[in-house]
Amino acid sequence: MSIVVAKNAGFCFGVNRAVELVEQAAGQGREVVTLGPIIHNRHQVDRFAQMGVQVIHEPSQAKPGQTVVIRSHGVTKAVYDALEAMGVQIIDATCPFVKRIHGIVSNARQEGRLPLIIGTRDHPEVEGIAGWCDDCRIFQTPQELEEWIKSTPEAANLPICIVCQTTSTENLWKSCVKIAKKEFTNLKIFDTICKATEFRQDEAAKLSALCQAMVVVGDASSSNTGRLAMICREHCQKVVLVDNAAELEPGFFDGATTIGITAGASTPAWIIKEVNKTMSEITNVEAVQEENFAELLEQSIKTLNTGDKVTGIVTGIGSTEVQIDLGTKHAGYIPYDEVSADPNLKPEDILKVGDEIEVFVVRVNDQEGTCQLSKKKLDGMKVWDEMATWCEEKTVVEGTITEENKGGLVANIKGIRVFIPASQSGIAKGGDMTGMVGQTVSLKITEVNRARRRVIGSIRAVTAEARKAAQEKIWAEIEEGKKYHGTVKSLTSYGAFVDIGGVDGMVHVSELSWNRIKTPAEVVSVGDEIDVYVISFDPAKHKISLGYKTAEMNPWNQFMTNYNVGDVVDAKIVKLMTFGAFAEIIPGVDGLIHISQIADKRIGKPEDVLSEGQQVQVKITDVDAENKRISLSIRALLESTEDEAAEETAEETAEETTEE
C-alpha cells in the first residue's frame, strides 16, 4: 500500500497572503479583527482567536482604532466605504485575482455592459464581485444561463461582459462561455478562474483516477473543498472528506493499494501533515512526500489518445519525418509537413536531436505501436490562445501586411491571417493602401472567432493611442517661444495648419513670410516639413498660434549683413515714379534711384531711360538704417566709367609723347 499527497494541496497564494497579513498585524500588538472568518477553516480561525484576533460580521461592529482585515474573498464596495467611514485601519487581504474581477465588472458597467457572473450565488466571493457594479446577473449552471436568455428577448443584443468565480470548475466555465458566444452579439469574455484552483482541480482528477481511495482534507463549508471532493468522486469510488486527522476511519482504506490525499485552498499545511501521519499509522505505511505524485503520474502514462498534448525528446531527424521518444510503448513521429506552418523552414532549422518538444497527438495505432504527432497543429492552437489573450488584454503586436483587398488589408501574425478593415488601417478614406503591402506594422487584435477562424485587427487603435500620448505630452510641456519641427497638413486662404507631433497649430499668412504674399501656397506646400515656434496657445480651446518667419529670414537683416555703402549690385526696376525709380536689390528690399541719379544728363522722366522689370547695375550711395531707406545711383557708375576712360586716354597720350 502507498500514500500519495497532491503537490498543490493546501493554501493557495491568495489564502496564504491573507493569513500572513493577519499574523503580521497581530504580531505588531494591534487590536486586530477580521470581517468574517479569514478563511473557511475553523482550526485556523481558532488559532487566530488564541492570538487575540476576533471575528466581526458587520462593518458596524468595528471600533475606531481597530485594524480590520478584509478576507481573501473580498467585500462589496459599500462594505469597503462603510469601513473607511468608521475611522478604522483597513488591511485589504482580498486575493489579487478576485480584486481583478472587481475592476473588470466595475469598468464593464462604466462602458454600459451588463456583467454576467458564473459562480455560486451565495458564495462570499460572488457576493463581493456583484457589489462592485450596480447591476449584474449571477448563474450557477449553464442551464440557468440558457433559461435567462430564453426569458429575456433583448438579451442577445445587450453588450455583455462575462466573468467567473475564481474557484469555479473549468467545465462549468467552458459550457457557459460556449452558450454566451453562440447567443450574444456584443460580448467580452474574461477567463477569471484562478490557475492555482485549476491546477489543484486538474491534479485531483488525475490523482483520483490512479488511486483506489481518496482523502479530501478541508472544511465542509468551503465550496472549494466541496468541489474537490466532487471531482474526485467522478474518478474514484472511495472518497472521504475530513476536517482533520481525528475524522479518519481505519476501515475506509480496506482493499486500497494506493491512497491519495488532496486538500482545499483553505487547509493549513500542518493539518495535511497530521492527516498524512495518521493515515500512515493506520495503514502501517511510511508517510510520503509530495514529489511521489509526479513520479506516480509519470509511471502511469501507458496509453495515448488522439487530441492529447504530450512532451517528448527528439531522437532522430530522417528524410521524411522526425522521430520522437514519448516515454511510452509507442514510437512517435512527426511528418515533415507537420513540423511548421512555414513551408520554407526545414526541420533541422528548428529542431535538433536531444531537444524537448511539446506536440499534438494526431493518430494512435496501438497494433503497430506508432503515434503520429504534429508540432504545427499545437503551435497553431497556442497562437489562437495568444490571439485571444492579446484581444482581451489589448496588447500591441506586430504583423506583416501581405495583401490589400476591397475591404481593407490583410496581415500575417505567426501564420494567422488577420483582417484589418479599411476604416482601421490608418489611411484616410479613399486613400491608397497599396503602399502598405510588405510593411511591418503595429496593431491591436479587436476580435477573435476561433470557430470561424476569423481575426480582426486595428492599426488605427495603436496610432490613436500614440497620438493621444503625444498630444498630452505637448500640452504638458508647451510654452511661448518653444520650437517644433512639424509637417504642413493643410492650407487655407488665411494660413497653414502644421502638425507638431499629434497636435495641429496654425501659422497665419502674415507669419509665413516677411514679404507680402497672397496665399500660403507661395511659401509652403502640404507635406512640407518646417521649423515653427509657438506665438501663443489656449489649452481650454486647444488652439495654438505658430510662427514661421524668423529674424534671420528678415530681408532687411540679410541686406544689412551682406551689403555696404559703395557696393555695386545688380537690381531690378520694380516701380517708376515721377521723382525716380525703385529697384529691388534682394526680394523684400528696394532702394530708390532718384531721377537725378538715373543718367549723366538731365532727363524729363524716369521712363525715358528705364522700364519696369529691367535689370540694371547700381551703386549703393547711402543707407538710413533707422528708417530702412536705401539710396542708389546709376549715374555714379557712369561718371566713374567716364573718369576711367579719360585717365586711360591721358596715359596713352603720355606714352606716345615719350616714344617720340
Please give, one letter per residue, the 3-state secondary structure of 106-139: HHHHHCCCEEEEECCCCCHHHHHHHCCCCCCEEE
Among 109, 113, 105, which Cα is nearest to 186's? 113
Among 357, 206, 217, 235, which Cα is nearest to 296's? 206
Round to whole Å and give the CA distance between 533 and 508: 12
Measured in degrees and rounded to the nearest 5, phi and psi for residue 522 equal -70, -20
Long-range Cβ contacts of 246-251 (<8 Å, 24+ apart): 248/215, 248/275, 248/278, 248/279, 248/282, 250/282
Measured in degrees and rounded to the nearest 5, phi and psi for residue 71 equal -70, 170
Task: Provide the CB-side half-sphere exposure for 99 (13 A, CA).
Answer: 10
Hey, CA dihedral for 436, 439, 442, 447, is it positive or negative?
A: positive
Tell me the three cell numbers of residue 408: 481593407
Q: For residue 522, give every residue at least 6 positions away whose Cβ sits within 8 Å of its Cβ, in sequence order, or none.
A: 513
Length of the chain equals 660
Side chain identity at residue 361, one-letter code: V
Round to whole Å and give the CA distance between 80 and 417: 47
Give how far the C-alpha of residue 183 lies from the chain's centroid of Cα atoms, to the nearest Å: 29
Q: For residue 353, give every residue at least 6 positions away whose Cβ sits within 8 Å of its Cβ, in sequence order, or none.
A: 314, 315, 316, 317
Following DSSP, what letter does each residue of 66-85 receive, concatenated?
A: -EEEEPTT---HHHHHHHHH
Round to whole Å and give the CA distance between 131 and 520: 60
Residues catalogued as catalytic = 125
- Count CB atoms within 10 A of the CB of residue 281: 13
Round to whole Å and give the CA distance between 143 and 150: 11
Q: What are the residue ranges of helices labelled H in 437-494?
A: 460-477
Residue pair 126/119 in contact (Cβ under 8 Å)? The answer is yes
Round to whole Å and give the CA distance between 580 and 594: 4
Give the largest Cα separation in the chain, rounded.
157
Q: For residue 157, give every residue at least 6 positions away whose Cβ sits within 8 Å of its Cβ, in sequence order, or none.
A: 185, 186
- The conformation of residue 522, written as its DSSP 8-state character, comes to G
- Count CB atoms within 10 A of the CB of residue 448: 23
User: In a 3-state reduction of DSSP, which class is residue 240?
Assistant: strand
Round to the nearest angstrom and report the end-to-end CA distance of the chain: 148
User: In a 3-state reduction of DSSP, which class is residue 186?
Assistant: strand
What torsion do the CA atoms of 305, 308, 314, 320 make, to the nearest 10 degrees? Answer: 70
**Residue corresponding to grid cell 516639413:** 529
Among 57, 61, 62, which Cα is nearest to 38's? 57
Round to whole Å and give the CA distance between 44 and 272: 13
Q: What are the residue ranges of helices labelled H in 152-222?
A: 170-183, 195-210
